[in-house]
Structure 1
Amino acid sequence: MASVPSTPRTEGDVMSAALASHGFPSFLNEEGGIVYLAVPVDPETKDAEILLHPHIKIASGEDADRRVDEHDAPWVASLYGADLEFVDTIYGGDETLGIEDDSRACAEAVVTHAAWWRAGTLPAPVPAPAERLVNAIRQAGPGAFYDAEDGVVIAHRGDVAQELAVTGAHLVLQLHRASDGWSDGFTVTAWAPGLRGDLSEVAQVFACRGLLSDELVERGARAVSEWLSEPRPSAGALLLAALAEQGIVPVRSGSSYVVPLLPGVTGEAVWSSEYLRISGQSWAGDHVPAAHIGWAISRHPNPDHANGNPVCATVYPTPLYPARGECATDSANTAAYVADRLATASH
Structure 2
Amino acid sequence: MFTLTVLEALAAAGVPAYLDEEGFVVAHPADVPRDSALKGEHLLLCGVDGRPFGDTDLGHRVTAWRPDPVWDFDEIDTVCEALRRDADQCARTAVEWFSTPRPSAGAVLRTALTTRGITAHSDHLGMSYAIPLNPTTATADIYTCPHLSIGDRNPSVDHMPSAHTGWTVFEHDANGEPIGAPLFISGDGGPVDCTADSTAAAEAIADFLTRSAR
- Give the TM-score of the pair, scaled to structure 1: 0.55
Selected match of 1:172 from 44, 52, 58: 44
Please give the alpha-carbon distance, in whole angstroms, between the structure 2 residues aligned to 1:164 and 1:285: 31
Letter in 1 for 2:12: Q
Shift of residue 130, structure 1, vs aligned partner: 1.0
> Identity rate of aligned residues, in percent?
31
Shift of residue 321, structure 1, vs aligned partner: 2.2
- Check whether the contact 1:293–1:323 (CA below 8 A) recurs between aligned residues: yes
Q: Which has the higher contact order (CA 8 A, sep 6+)?
A: 2
The runs of at least 4 consecutive aligned structure 1 residues that moved more than 6 Å come to none
Which of structures 1 and 2 has the bigger CA Rg? 1
Partner of 1:153: 25
Shift of residue 148, structure 1, vs aligned partner: 3.1
Selected match of 2:58 from 177, 184, 198: 184
Selected match of 2:16 from 135, 143, 156: 143
Please give the alpha-carbon distance, in whole angstroms, between the structure 2 residues aligned to 1:145 and 1:283: 30
1:233 paired to 2:116: no
Aligned residues between the structures: 207
Where structure 1 has 5 or more consecutive residues not aligned to the other structure, the ranges are 1-127, 304-309
Deviations 1:232-268 (A, max 9, x none): 1221111111101110111111222110122311221
- Check whether the contact 1:279–1:296 (CA below 8 A) recurs between aligned residues: yes
1:311 paired to 2:177: yes
Could you say if the C-alpha distance between residues 283 and 194 of structure 1 is closer, same or farther in structure 2, counting changes exceeding 3 Å?
farther
Partner of 1:6: none
- Check whether the contact 1:250–1:259 (CA below 8 A) recurs between aligned residues: yes
Please give the alpha-carbon distance, in whole angstroms, between the structure 2 residues aligned to 1:163 and 1:285: 34
Could you say if the C-alpha distance between residues 226 and 322 of structure 1 is closer, same or farther in structure 2, counting changes exceeding 3 Å?
same
Shift of residue 300, structure 1, vs aligned partner: 1.8
Task: Say what the alpha-carbon RMSD is for the aligned residues.
Answer: 2.5
1:291 paired to 2:158: no
Deviations 1:157-194 (A, max 9, x none): 112111211121000112257x99x9611100111245
- Check whether the contact 1:131–1:146 (CA below 8 A) recurs between aligned residues: no
Could you say if the C-alpha distance between residues 209 and 176 of structure 1 is closer, same or farther in structure 2, counting changes exceeding 3 Å?
same
Deviations 1:49-103 (A, max 9, x none): xxxxxxxxxxxxxxxxxxxxxxxxxxxxxxxxxxxxxxxxxxxxxxxxxxxxxxx
Letter in 2 for 1:261: L
Please give the alpha-carbon distance, in whole angstroms, between the structure 2 residues aligned to 1:243 and 1:172: 33
Partner of 2:195: 328
Partner of 1:338: 205
**SS of residue matched to 1:189:** strand
Could you say if the C-alpha distance between residues 339 and 287 of structure 1 is closer, same or farther in structure 2, counting changes exceeding 3 Å?
same
Shift of residue 269, structure 1, vs aligned partner: 1.6
Where structure 2 has 5 or more consecutive residues not aligned to the other structure, the ranges are none
Could you say if the C-alpha distance between residues 322 and 197 of structure 1 is closer, same or farther in structure 2, counting changes exceeding 3 Å?
closer
Please give the alpha-carbon distance, in whole angstroms, between the structure 1 residues aligned to 2:212 and 2:43: 44
Letter in 2 for 1:311: E
Please give the alpha-carbon distance, in whole angstroms, between the structure 2 residues aligned to 1:273 and 1:176: 40
1:270 paired to 2:142: yes
Could you say if the C-alpha distance between residues 224 and 324 of structure 1 is closer, same or farther in structure 2, counting changes exceeding 3 Å?
closer
Please give the alpha-carbon distance, in whole angstroms, between the structure 1 residues aligned to 2:105 and 2:146: 25
